[in-house]
Amino acid sequence: MDQRPCDQVKELARDHLCDIDDKIRELQSLRNELRTLVRRKAGRDHGNKVCSLIQVD
């Protein structure tokens, strides 16, 4: 049995919503990681050294 065009559009829209939700979760995770990094590294006094947020170890 073939789907009606409207059903296909709804399914496609639901797929896009799932993709968007996945991206939002990923961005929230990245935001939390960066927030933690900033709290740990940027709050310390490093004198005249390169900021540890941009220094490559």
- What confidence tens digit (pLDDT) does each residue in 12-54 have? 999 999 999 999 999 999 999 999 888 887 666 667 777 766 7
CA distance to 23, 24, 31, 41, 49, per residue, from 11 (Å) = 19, 20, 30, 45, 54
- 2 pLDDT above the threshold of 70: no
Q: Which range of residues forms the domain containing residue 24?
A: 1-57
| Domains held by the chain: number | 1
Q: Give pLDDT, residue 47.
A: 72
The first and second tokens of residue 6, run together, are: 């409207």
One-letter amino acid at 40 equals R
| pTM (predicted TM-score) | 0.66
Handedness of CA 46, 49, 53, 57 (dihedral sign): negative
